[in-house]
């Protein structure tokens, strides 16, 4: 007996749209989730571009207005891959229409939007409508393993977390202006784009929440020339450094930057605990380094190649030692969401988790402005990273 199916409606067809398209397909090629995704429709304002993606990934139909997806009874799940300023409207409407929702990060561009989304998610949850934020890196096998190790007490008490998300695409002063450098469209710069990832991962792996922060934002080049040759103002941060304190008292030190020359996609996390430590770097995503103090003087960071069938998610793919890539966690995310829908459980990260990250981001901006430590607001207590 084959599983039930659910129709997916995808909004967005760019880089993220393609990543999600292949994930919905791979979710049934390599896994056997409790409910099977059908690629029912894709929506995008540029019909030509949307049609191209639809052809490539065999989406059954193409729409130019995402609202059409909400009216389609064949669609049970809305997957939002548009820029951040549209997330709140689409997600809230989709939940109201009784569609399960997966929304890419950053969940929203403003705290107010994020709060409205979390409220909508809470309301929808009561009728069994599921929602999830796309902090995809939680589904890297190495990160899932890191979470397991911390959760089973492998580090003992956690002392500190050092997190970095280093990219370099703005190190060149001649790198062109894009909408990502405009505060209205993008919300913030490195902070929300990649800082959000490292904050979510740190909280997720440690199983704790950041409660206070002190940070500073940097814009190295306040003007850049756009593709048309016009000089435009850069109104977001290129770079963000902050120190933090977790609820448990653990300390944190973080950097998110687009100015780290030579680092292409270095999302790094090091967690130090009483009995051990973990280190991860997205540029070597198939590995997790684990130090276990029980090794005594012969202890050392051991480089675990997280490609064993017993490792999270890995068994569905290739034999041991065969590298996974950037695409895989999107598939794992799709599978986990499909299984949550099938099982009638709430997937994580929830919109409340997304809201809590948004609060940390907002607190860092406040801290930068006031030049003092800022408390991540109390309502965050409800979130469970």
* 111-125 and 351-370 helices, crossing angle to 10°: 160
Shortest distance in whole angstroms from residue 28 CB to a copy of itself: 6
The tokens describing 239, both together, are 């770079």
Euclidean distance between CA atoms 94 and 238, whole angstroms: 33
Q: Name 298's Cβ contacts closer than 8 Å, sequence gap at least 6.
A: none
Residue 321 backbone class (left: φ over 0; alpha: ψ -120 to 50; beta: rest): left
Query: In the range 140-199, which residues lie near a copy of itself by CB under 8 A?
Result: 145, 155, 157, 159-160, 162, 164, 167-169, 171-173
For a copy of itself, the closer CB: 115 or 270: 270
Shortest distance in whole angstroms from residue 220 CB to a copy of itself: 6
For a copy of itself, the closer CB: 125 or 169: 169
User: Collapsing DSSP states into helix, strand and coil, what is residue 1?
Assistant: coil
Shortest distance in whole angstroms from residue 127 CB to a copy of itself: 32
Euclidean distance between CA atoms 261 and 239, whole angstroms: 12
For a copy of itself, the closer CB: 179 or 326: 326
Query: In the range 222-241, which residues lie near a copy of itself by CB under 8 A?
Result: 239, 241
The tokens describing 140, both together, are 């890297």
Shortest distance in whole angstroms from residue 214 CB to a copy of itself: 5
Query: In the range 255-284, which residues lie near a copy of itself by CB under 8 A?
Result: 255, 257, 259-266, 270, 272-277, 282-284
Residues linked to residue 231 through DSSP beta bridges, in sequence order? 225
Q: Is 48 in the site for a copy of itself (CB under 8 A)?
A: no
Euclidean distance between CA atoms 289 and 154, whole angstroms: 13
Nearest to 108 by CA among 364, 358, 382, 377: 358
Query: In the range 365-384, which residues lie near a copy of itself by CB under 8 A?
Result: 371-373
The tokens describing 202, both together, are 């740190």
Number of chain positions touching a copy of itself (CB under 8 A)? 101
Among 5, 61, 178, 216, binds a copy of itself (CB under 8 A): 216
Query: In the range 75-104, which residues lie near a copy of itself by CB under 8 A?
Result: none
Order of strands, sheet of 374-375, starting from the edge strand that comes earlier in the sequence: 287-292, 276-281, 266-273, 158-166, 251-257, 239-246, 210-218, 374-375
For a copy of itself, the closer CB: 229 or 325: 325
Euclidean distance between CA atoms 225 and 26, whole angstroms: 40
Shortest distance in whole angstroms from residue 169 CB to a copy of itself: 7
User: Collapsing DSSP states into helix, strand and coil, what is residue 36?
Assistant: strand
Query: In the range 23-42, which residues lie near a copy of itself by CB under 8 A?
Result: 25-26, 28-30
Shortest distance in whole angstroms from residue 285 CB to a copy of itself: 5
Shortest distance in whole angstroms from residue 184 CB to a copy of itself: 23
Query: In the range 314-353, which residues lie near a copy of itself by CB under 8 A?
Result: 317-328
For a copy of itself, the closer CB: 134 or 347: 134
Shortest distance in whole angstroms from residue 115 CB to a copy of itself: 26
Number of CB atoms found within 10 A of residue 191's CB: 28
Rg, the chain, Cα only? 21
Euclidean distance between CA atoms 110 and 116, whole angstroms: 10
The tokens describing 311, both together, are 């490792």
Shortest distance in whole angstroms from residue 364 CB to a copy of itself: 11
Shortest distance in whole angstroms from residue 69 CB to a copy of itself: 21
Among 64, 184, 293, 384, binds a copy of itself (CB under 8 A): 293
Q: Is 44 in the site for a copy of itself (CB under 8 A)?
A: no
Query: In the range 49-68, which residues lie near a copy of itself by CB under 8 A?
Result: 55-58
DSSP track, 79-127: EE-S-GGGHHHHHHHHHHTT-EEEEESSS-SSHHHHHHHHHHHHHHHTT
For a copy of itself, the closer CB: 67 or 245: 245
Q: Is 22 in the site for a copy of itself (CB under 8 A)?
A: yes
Among 177, 290, 313, 351, binds a copy of itself (CB under 8 A): 290
User: Collapsing DSSP states into helix, strand and coil, what is residue 185?
Assistant: helix
Query: In the range 295-314, which residues lie near a copy of itself by CB under 8 A?
Result: 295-305, 307-311
Size of the chain in residues: 385
């Amino acid at each position: 007996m084959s599983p039930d199916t659910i129709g997916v409606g995808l909004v967005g067809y760019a880089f993220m749209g393609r990543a999600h398209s292949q994930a919905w397909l791979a979710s049934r090629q390599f896994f056997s989730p409790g409910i099977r995704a059908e690629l029912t429709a894709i929506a995008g304002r540029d019909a030509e571009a949307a049609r191209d993606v639809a052809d490539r990934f065999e989406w059954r139909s193409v729409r130019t207005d995402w609202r059409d997806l909400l009216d389609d009874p064949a669609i049970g799940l809305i997957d939002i891959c548009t820029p951040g300023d549209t997330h709140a409207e689409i997600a809230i409407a989709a939940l109201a229409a009784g569609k399960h929702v997966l929304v890419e990060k950053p969940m929203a561009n403003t705290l107010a939007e994020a709060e409205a989304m979390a409220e909508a998610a809470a309301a929808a949850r009561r009728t069994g409508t599921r929602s999830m934020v796309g902090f995809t890196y939680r589904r890297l096998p190495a990160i899932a393993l890191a979470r397991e190790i911390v959760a089973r007490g492998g580090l003992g008490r956690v002392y500190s977390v050092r997190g970095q998300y280093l990219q370099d695409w703005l190190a060149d002063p001649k790198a062109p202006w894009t909408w990502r450098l405009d505060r209205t469209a993008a919300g913030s710069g490195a902070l929300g784009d990649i800082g959000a990832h490292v904050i979510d991962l740190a909280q997720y792996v440690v199983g704790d929440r950041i409660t206070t922060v002190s940070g500073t934002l940097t814009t190295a080049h306040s003007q850049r020339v756009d593709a048309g040759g016009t000089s435009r103002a850069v109104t977001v941060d290129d770079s963000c450094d902050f120190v933090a304190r977790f609820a448990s008292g653990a300390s944190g030190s973080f950097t998110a930057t687009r100015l780290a020359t030579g680092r292409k996609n270095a999302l790094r996390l090091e967690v130090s605990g009483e009995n051990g430590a973990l280190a991860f770097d997205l540029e070597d995503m198939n590995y997790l380094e684990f130090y276990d103090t029980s090794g005594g003087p012969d202890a050392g960071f051991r480089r675990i190649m997280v490609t064993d069938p017993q490792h999270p998610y890995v068994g569905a793919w290739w034999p041991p030692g065969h590298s996974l890539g950037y695409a895989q966690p999107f598939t794992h995310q799709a599978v986990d969401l499909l299984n949550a829908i099938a099982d009638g459980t709430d997937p994580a990260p929830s919109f409340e988790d997304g809201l809590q990250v948004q609060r940390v981001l907002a607190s860092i901006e406040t801290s930068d402005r006031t030049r003092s430590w800022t408390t991540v607001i109390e309502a965050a207590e409800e979130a469970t990273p």
